[in-house]
Homo-oligomer: A and B are copies of this chain.
Amino acid sequence: MHLFDQIQTPTLLINEKQAWENIKWMVEKAARSGIRLRPHFKTHQSAEIAGWFREQGIQQCTVSSISMAAYFARHGWQDITIAFPVNLREMQSLNHLGKTIKTTGLLVECLEIVESLEASLESPAEIWIKVDCGNHRTGILWNDGDGLRNVAQAVRSCKKLHLRGLLSHFGDSYHAIGRSAITTLYQESLNRLQQARNTLLIAGFEAIEVSVGDTPSCSLVDDLGIVDEMRSGNFVFYDTMQLAIGSCTAEQISVALACPIVALHPERNEVVIYGGAIHLSKESHPYENQPSVFGLPALPTKTGWGAPLTGGYIRSLSQEHGVVRLAPEHLSSLKIGDLLMILPAHSCLALQAMRTLKTLDGRIIDTMLSESDS
A95 within 8 A of B: no
Interface mask (A223-245 → B, CB under 8 Å = 1, otherwise 0):
00000000000000000000000
A8 within 8 A of B: yes
- Collect the chain B residues with CB atoms within 8 Å of residue A352's CB: 278, 319
A91's closest neighbor in chain B, by CB? B8
A73 within 8 A of B: no
- Collect the chain B residues with CB atoms within 8 Å of residue A323's CB: 136-138
- In the complex the two chains form, is B84's CB within 8 Å of A262's CB? yes
Interface mask (A126-144 → B, CB under 8 Å = 1, otherwise 0):
0000000000111001000
Q: Chain B's nearest CB lies how many Å from the CB of A147? A: 10
- In the complex the two chains form, is A349's CB within 8 Å of B282's CB? yes
- Which residues of chain A from 93 to 142 have a CB within 8 Å of any chain B CB? 93, 109-110, 112-113, 116, 136-138, 141
- In the complex the two chains form, is A137's CB within 8 Å of B321's CB? yes
- Docked Cα-Cα span, A64 to B319, in Å, equals 8
- Docked Cα-Cα span, A90 to B337, in Å, equals 10
- Which residues of chain A from 259 to 273 have a CB within 8 Å of any chain B CB? 260, 262-265, 267-268, 270, 272
Given A268-B136, A282-B282, A336-B110, CB of A93 within 8 Å of CB of B8: yes
- Docked Cα-Cα span, A317 to B335, in Å, equals 38
A203 within 8 A of B: no
- Collect the chain B residues with CB atoms within 8 Å of residue A335's CB: 112
Interface mask (A280-323 → B, CB under 8 Å = 1, otherwise 0):
01110000000000000000000000000000000010111101
- Which residues of chain A from 143 to 182 have a CB within 8 Å of any chain B CB? 171
Q: Chain B's nearest CB lies how many Å from the CB of A236? A: 15
Instruction: Give the number of copies in the complex.
Output: 2
- Docked Cα-Cα span, A238 to B373, in Å, equals 29
Q: Chain B's nearest CB lies how many Å from the CB of A31? A: 27
- Which residues of chain A from 194 to 225 have a CB within 8 Å of any chain B CB? none
Selected contact of A348 from candidates B7, B42, B86, B319, CB within 8 Å? B319
Q: Chain B's nearest CB lies how many Å from the CB of A16? A: 23
A67 within 8 A of B: yes
A89 within 8 A of B: yes
- In the complex the two chains form, is A89's CB within 8 Å of B8's CB? yes
A65 within 8 A of B: yes
- In the complex the two chains form, is B64's CB within 8 Å of A272's CB? no
- Collect the chain B residues with CB atoms within 8 Å of residue A332's CB: none
- In the complex the two chains form, is B137's CB within 8 Å of A67's CB? no
- Docked Cα-Cα span, A126 to B125, in Å, equals 63
A30 within 8 A of B: no
- Collect the chain B residues with CB atoms within 8 Å of residue A89's CB: 7-9, 260, 337
- In the complex the two chains form, is B372's CB within 8 Å of A112's CB? no
- Collect the chain B residues with CB atoms within 8 Å of residue A333's CB: none
A282's closest neighbor in chain B, by CB? B282
- Docked Cα-Cα span, A349 to B282, in Å, equals 9
- Docked Cα-Cα span, A193 to B258, in Å, equals 33
- Collect the chain B residues with CB atoms within 8 Å of residue A84's CB: 262, 274, 320-321
- In the complex the two chains form, is A110's CB within 8 Å of B263's CB? yes
A365 within 8 A of B: no
A51 within 8 A of B: no
Given contacts A84-B274, A85-B263, A138-B272, 19 further A-B contacts (CB under 8 A): A7-B89, A8-B87, A8-B89, A8-B90, A8-B92, A8-B93, A9-B90, A64-B320, A65-B320, A88-B260, A88-B337, A89-B337, A110-B263, A136-B268, A136-B323, A137-B318, A278-B349, A282-B283, A372-B373
